[in-house]
Structure 1
Amino acid sequence: MTNHDEAAAVRPLTQAWVSRYLEAGERIVSTEALHGGVTAEMRRLTIGTRDGGTRDLVLRTVVNVEHAEDWLNGEADTLNLLTGTEVPAPELVAVDPTAAHCEYPSLLMTHLAGRTILDDYGLETRVPLLARQLVAIHALRPTERPRDYVTLTTADTVVTPKGADAAAWAAAIDVIRKPAPSYEGRFLHRDFQPGNVLFDALGARITGVVDWAATSWGPTDLDVAHCSANLALLHGPAWGLRFAQAYEEAGGVLAAVASERLYWLVRDALAFSEELQLVSQPWREAGRTDLTTQAVEQRLDAYITNLMDTLS
């Protein structure tokens, strides 16, 4: 077996576990580290088949992360739920959520064709596609609801960037001191953003949606707010509000009252303040070297200010 770099190597116990789920005569012939993951190690495994061909699988390994068992069990359940739906998601092959067989908790799934696209070119085409895909996800009606959504950011944990518009940030923080608005729950991806969506070579069609570990039940506004904040940091503040508009144009339903929309948009945007380095590092690894921590801080400040000026 060959691997493209040391980080791609599969640990011995995990390799043996993966081999249990291969067809007779198949073997792992190469591995490749996949960049972009924040909370897990991701690897593409190329499997040699009996007829001399190859196929790919994806291995998620969660190393020293609290609640890994819950995350992997949740993702496994979601992948099974999505089988046979119109949402293009990987198929579950196997899961070892407690590391009973592997060195660390792991999940094995099929590999989807396509690529993530994080650059600005073609964004006008991709945003409506993202919006339509998210509407389709929210239309799912599972027989069993996933866990309720979680937001860890509080008014006291927000980190205001140096040089930020202090008045706008203080006003935004005051917004999330209030109780969450009432909502009609929907099936949420909970980390729907460009880094978790695969496109064809031309960027004209979505071929897959990945990373279902945080799937939950909550307001559609929260999923929209998360993608909006990512777009604002990746491509500029104006794209945050543009995505919410595209979501409605695609048939999605958001809170009817501006103050309620503002609550969810601000809550998710402020959450980025606590982990800008962590969030932006995978973007730089993917080629967006312009997105330094300072540049992302400036975009987040502009986005927060834009939200407060537009919706408050």
Structure 2
Amino acid sequence: MTDHHGAAPVGPLTLAWVHRHLSPDERIVGTEALHGGITADVRRLTIDTRDGGTRHLVLRSFVDPSSVERAEEWLNREADALALLAGTDVTAPGLVAVDPTAAHCEYPSLLMTHLAGRTVLDDEGLEARVPLLARQLVAIHAVRPAERPREYEALTTADTVVVPRGADTAAWAAAIKVIRRPAPRYEGRFLHRDFQPGNVLFDVPTARSAGARITGVVDWAAASWGPADLDVAHCSTNLALLHGPAWGQRFAEAYEEAGGVLAAAAGERLYWQVRDSLACSEEVQVVARAWREAGRAELTTRAVEERLDAYVTGLMDALG
């Protein structure tokens, strides 16, 4: 069974594993590769149901050798997050099954329910979507797990930052100096840890996003415990690179307008903003490619690097 879009087929062991988690008389009749996955292959499975209708499930499989060694950790973390979010105000996929060590599948895999909606990465309608994103993130941070998930990962160090060609070297040197300092103290929150437009599904009834609503949040493999500022900084960086540097600061403002609480001191906020934007410097090429595959053809690696440089420079200029 070959995926649409020419993706590699789902292996027979994985198909058999999925089938064991279907209802009697259901069968898999199609698979379709979904865009946007960076660390894993994501597919929508079409299932024929006993009443003659269809339903969909989503299969995430870690097939890249560089990701397989951490797949067990990531899949267990995502499975725990999906179980936690069931019954909360945060709409996430429902967990169906997980095979984190590839005991049954060709690759470590997770099977979950399919959510309606689509990702929206266009500039048009962004002003209406940003407050929705902010309110959704506030709701995520309001989740209080009975058992605290593992601590967040920083994802970069001062010594691994990749300064873009032609960047403002003085601003980047100052930014790198910021993250050499110890992390500020913070009040922990439940974090998505990769909250950004590519992981949020929307129902958009009109071209200009009037009446848009969020239908769910996906990709919980990095769910963890840490400062709200870090999730906000991550979405801010992504918005700055997707839509222009000014949108990074606008998202932080929208988060507070929605009732979210960030670090009180400007220097502490800057630490998390800079830490996330510098982490992005190490994966610009991968991120840009994913966005181009999703329809943003103009976002070449160079274009994204230039926006990242402008964003980092703006953060440091604001510090004075």
TM-score range, shorter chain: over 0.9
Equivalent residue number for residue 159 of structure 1: 162
**Structure 2 residue 260 is the aligned partner of structure 1 residue 228:** no
Equivalent residue number for residue 218 of structure 1: 226
Equivalent residue number for residue 96 of structure 2: 93
SS in 1 for 2:50: coil
| C-alpha distance in structure 1 between counterparts of 2:274 and 2:21, whole Å | 44
Equivalent residue number for residue 291 of structure 1: 299
Q: CA deviation at 1:270?
A: 0.4
| C-alpha distance in structure 2 between counterparts of 1:288 and 1:281, whole Å | 9
Using the aligned pairs only, state the percent identity: 78
Q: How does 1:1-312 map to 2 (within 5 A)?
A: 3-7=3-7, 9-63=9-63, 64=65, 65=67, 66-202=69-205, 203=209, 204-312=212-320
Residue identity opposite 1:37 in structure 2: G
Q: CA deviation at 1:311?
A: 3.0
- Is the 8 Å Cα contact of residues 2 and 29 (structure 1) preserved in structure 2? no
SS in 2 for 1:144: coil
Residue identity opposite 2:27 in structure 1: R
Residue identity opposite 2:50 in structure 1: R
Residue identity opposite 1:57 in structure 2: L
| C-alpha distance in structure 2 between counterparts of 1:3 and 1:211, whole Å | 21
- Is the 8 Å Cα contact of residues 46 and 57 (structure 1) preserved in structure 2? yes
Deviations 1:193-218 (A, max 9, x none): 00000000334100010000000000
| C-alpha distance in structure 1 between counterparts of 2:222 and 2:254, whole Å | 24
Residue identity opposite 1:41 in structure 2: D
Deviations 1:121-165 (A, max 9, x none): 000000000000000000000000000001131111111111101
SS in 1 for 2:198: helix
| C-alpha distance in structure 1 between counterparts of 2:238 and 2:100, whole Å | 29
Q: CA deviation at 1:7?
A: 1.1
- Is the 8 Å Cα contact of residues 8 and 31 (structure 1) preserved in structure 2? no
- Is the 8 Å Cα contact of residues 8 and 43 (structure 1) preserved in structure 2? no
> Please, what TM-score do these two structures have when normalized by structure 2?
0.96
SS in 1 for 2:238: helix
Structure 1 segments (4+ residues) deviating >6 Å: none
Question: CA 1:19–1:306 in 2, change beyond 3 Å: closer, same or farther?
Answer: same
Q: CA deviation at 1:8?
A: 5.3
Q: Which runs of 5+ in 1 are unaligned?
A: none
| C-alpha distance in structure 2 between counterparts of 1:128 and 1:69, whole Å | 35
- Is the 8 Å Cα contact of residues 44 and 58 (structure 2) preserved in structure 1? yes
- Is the 8 Å Cα contact of residues 41 and 61 (structure 1) preserved in structure 2? yes
- Is the 8 Å Cα contact of residues 2 and 8 (structure 2) preserved in structure 1? no
Deviations 1:86-136 (A, max 9, x none): 101000000000000000100000000000000100000000000000000
| C-alpha distance in structure 1 between counterparts of 2:96 and 2:80, whole Å | 12
Q: CA deviation at 1:186?
A: 0.4
Q: CA deviation at 1:67?
A: 1.3
- Is the 8 Å Cα contact of residues 61 and 104 (structure 1) preserved in structure 2? yes
SS in 1 for 2:7: helix
SS in 2 for 1:7: coil
Q: Which runs of 5+ in 2 are unaligned?
A: none
> Please, what TM-score do these two structures have when normalized by structure 1?
0.98
SS in 2 for 1:206: strand
Q: Quote the RMSD (CA, aligned, Å).
A: 0.9
| C-alpha distance in structure 2 between counterparts of 1:121 and 1:46, whole Å | 31
